[in-house]
Amino acid sequence: MVHGSRLTIDTDAIAANWQVLRERVGASVNCAAAVKSDAYGCGLAPVARALAGAGCSTFFVALPQEGVVLRREVPGAVIYVLNGLLPGAAPIYAEARLRPVLGSLAEAEEWALFCRSRKVVLDAALHIDTGMNRLGLSEADTRRIAADSAMLQAFDLTLVMSHLACGSTAGSPFNAQQLARFKALQELFPGTPCSLANSAGIHLGPDYHFDMVRPGIALYGGEIIEGAPERLQTVVKLEARILQIRQVPADVPVGYGQGQTTRRPTRLAILSTGYGDGYHRRAGGADTRPDDAPPAHGVLAGHKVPLFGRVSMDLMAVDVTDVPSELARRGAFVELYGPDVDMSHIAGTAETIDYELLTSLGHRHQRVYAPLQAPAAATLKEDR
């Protein structure tokens, strides 16, 4: 009763999505799971437990602090840290049994030195840059490490990986270029497992699967390939409580900056959610929006209700003029995204991506971990 919004997260759906991907790549390929950024905003601990229960044994996080939390939840799992070895942090990795994804010569040298100083052979991965130009070893440094037998004896190289820059764009010729570069360089480490594919890479086909795949957004029900209708199960449902119903005459501006003006006598529902809760401001309505780029919408009892005016920090308005008054009432909930409202579509209205919506989920929502109801999209009513 004290929350303005409700966030339902279906960890069974996350586990089911992982199982679908595992079956797609086949038994010979290790299907890992990316759970960085608090499991894409869904909660690291409950998501990790659900995935481990489904059979996932390898996880990827971005930072060692995430890995330390994850280790408590999945004591026997393999945990890779994608952002590599933070300077001076090797003891923390060792204590929590985290495997740094070494992305520079300096990181590889520091990890090797630490292992020698402790007289232990610890696990690590190498990240080869095949064109992302973000993290990763250059071709020259990759060859240098491959030729340095002393370094490779200091730690146990358990994975060689790279990352696709354009994997979500299925027709991009750069995918094939990266694949060719990766194949050429991973051969420098014979017998070492290899990984290239994220969620989108899995859908590019078996040539991209190698020994391990690392799905992320697909596990959480997001868009996998740009513009493709394929989705796995919906995982997240965000609902906002109606605080007040307002009757607004025609030709009256609404909200900050008087961004949108009513064109008719309008009934507005004021919702207890805003950009302070992770709902992006750009998704709101404005008179300056072109007719072919309408604002985002919610769903109230089967009725589509468009946002009206700017999204503010704690509040937003939706147009419920055509919704029966017994449904559009104080205390009712409006679905902002979930089974009936495609998150990727909402992200598009905000000129962003569903990754950002997920990882922006705020901490003021009442979080409920429970199965989601099947979508009622087939019966949605268009309200104008």
| Assigned token pair, 82 | 């994608």
Q: What are the extents of the domains in the chain?
A: 32-220, 236-379
State the average pLDDT over residues 229-254: 94
Q: How confident is the model at residue 373 (pLDDT cuts 50, 70, 90)?
A: confident
Q: Are 215 and 21 spatial neighbours (Cβ–Cβ below 8 Å)?
A: yes
Residue 238, pLDDT above cutoff 50:
yes
- pLDDT of residue 169 exceeding 60, the answer is yes
Find the farthest-apart pair of alpha carbons in the chain and give their distance in angstroms, rounded: 78
Return the SS3 of 181: helix
Tens digit of each residue's pLDDT (9 = 90 or more) over 99-134: 999 999 999 999 999 999 999 999 999 999 999 999
Q: What is the pLDDT of residues 178-210, one digit of tens each?
A: 999 999 999 999 999 999 999 999 999 999 999
pTM: 0.94
State whether CATH 3.20.20.70 applies to domain 32-220: no
**337 part of the active site:** no
Q: How confident is the model at residue 292 (pLDDT cuts 50, 70, 90)?
A: confident
Helices (H) and strands (E) in the chain, counts: 12, 19
Residue 378 has pLDDT above 70, yes or no: no
pLDDT of residue 43: 97
User: In 78-198, where do the E strands start and end?
Assistant: 78-81, 98-102, 123-127, 156-161, 194-195
pLDDT band at 25 (very low <50, low <70, confident <90, very high): very high
Write down the pLDDT at residue 131.
96
Q: Which residues of 79-95 are buried (b: 16+ CB within 10 A; e: fewer)?
A: bbbbbbbbeebbeebbe
The confidence band for 177, taking pLDDT boundaries of 50, 70 and 90, is very high
Q: Which of 237, 256, 275, 355 is catalytic?
A: 256
Among this protein's residues, is 119 annotated catalytic? no
What does the pLDDT look like over 294-344, one tens digit per residue?
999 999 999 999 999 999 999 999 999 999 999 999 999 999 999 999 999
Which of 36, 40, 208, 355 is catalytic? The answer is 36
Give pLDDT, residue 377. Answer: 41
Q: What are 57-71's pLDDT values in tens digits?
A: 999 999 999 999 999
Instruction: Compute the residue count for the chain.
Output: 384
Superfamily grouping for domain 236-379: Lyase, Ornithine Decarboxylase; Chain A, domain 1 (2.40.37.10)
The answer, yes or no, to whether residue 240 has pLDDT greater than 70, is: yes
